[in-house]
Structure 1
Amino acid sequence: MFDAGRHSVRRAMAALAMEGKLSVEQGRGTFVEDAPKLNYHVGRRTRFRQNLLSQGFEPGGETIAEDIVPASPAVAEALGLAEGAPVHRLLRRDMADGVPINLGFSFQCAIRFPDWARLRREGLSVTEAYHAHGVTEYFRHSTSVHSRRAREEEAELLQQHIDQPVLVVRKVDVDGQGVPIGHAEGIWAASRVQFVFEGVDDGPVRFPHRGGDAE
C-alpha cells in the first residue's frame, strides 16, 4: 500500500515492538499490544490485588516453581533469620487482565509459614495466606527499584520484546510487631506499569533471630 521495502517494514516493526506498541510472540506472530498501563501504588499497606482492582484491572497469577531452600545470606538478612534456615522460594507470574506484568521470586520462613506454598498454589492471595497463618496485618518496610535490560527467559514469560527494559523491585514486608515476614524480588514489565511511592514511617524492624532488635 505504501510502496515500502520489506527491510523497512521489518525495522519499523522492530521499533514499534521496542516501544511496547507491538507484541512479538515466537511461533504465533506479531500483535498490536493491548497490555494495561497501571499506576502501582507503593506505601505502608501495599497490596497487589487492591492495586489492580482499584483501577479496574482483574488481578491474576500462577505459581511457576516452588521449593524449600536454605536461606542465602541476602535472604537471611532480609528476613532476620539465621543463614541456612529453611525458607519457601516461589517463582510466580502475576497478571493484569490476563496480561503478564510481573515475574519474580518470593521468600517466607518455612517454619513460621509451613503451608505457604500450598495456599498460594491454591489461589489464595498473599494477605489471605498470611491470615491463614495468624498474621492479621502486615506492612511494607522497604522497597528498592532499578532498571535493566530484560533477559531472554524474562522477556518470554512477560511476553515483551527482548530489548524492552524491566524494573527490578526488591521489597521486605513486616508484621504488626515489625518482624520481617516476606522478601521478594520482582521483575516488572516497565512499559506496562508506573510505580507511585507514598511517604511512610514504619519505625524499627525487629530481627529476633539476630540477637535483639535492630533498626
Structure 2
Amino acid sequence: MTLPDWAPASADETAVWQGKPRARIVHWGVVTGVLVAVTVLGVGGFLWRSGAIGLALLAACAAVALVGFAMPAGSAYLWRTHTDYLLTDAALYHRTGAVWVTVTELGLEKVQNSAYSQGVFGTMFDHGTVTVDTAGSEGAELSLRALDDPDDVHRLVAERAGVTGSDESIPGTIEQWRAVLDEVRKLRTVLRTE
C-alpha cells in the first residue's frame, strides 16, 4: 500500500491501513436536509394558503428551504470527502479540511490506550468511532469517527501500538512486590494497635 500525497510520513514508513468516514454519513445529511426543507416549505405553504403571507414571503421560504437542505447535506459531503485516516507502521494520521487542512500525527510509541464505541445504530449497521489516547492526555487524543467495522480498525491500531492487552504479566519484580507486602503488613500492625 502506498502512502498518500498528503501524509507527512517519512520515506521508510509503510502504510498499513487507509480509510475515510463511511459514505452513508452523506445520506444522513441529505435526509436531514430534506426534512428541514419540507418542514420550511410546509409551514410557508400553510401560511400562504391561509393568507398570512404574500407571494414574496413564500419565495423567501423557498430560499430558506434551499439553504436548510444545502447546509446539512453539503457539510456532510464536504466532511466525508475531505477527511482521511492513515495508519503506518510508525504513526496514526488524521487529515481533515477543505480550505484549511489540518493533519494530526500520533506516533504509535505514544499510544497508551485505544477503544472503539458504537451507538444503537452503529451496532445495527456496524459503524462507530475509534479513540486513541496517549499518556497524560485529557480524553481522547485522536478520534476516527464514522468508520465501517470499527472493531477491526481498533484491533489493528492496538496491535500496531502494542496495547493489545494480551500481556498477562504483572509489572515489577518479585523483590518490589515483597517490599510492598512488608509495608502493608507494617501498616496493618500499626492500625491494629491504635
Please indicate the TM-score interval, normalised by the length of the shorter structure: under 0.3
Higher relative contact order (CA 8 A, sep 6+): 1
Mark the structure with the bigger radius of gyration: 2
Task: Give the structure with the higher percent strand.
Answer: 1
TM-score, length-scaled by structure 2? 0.26
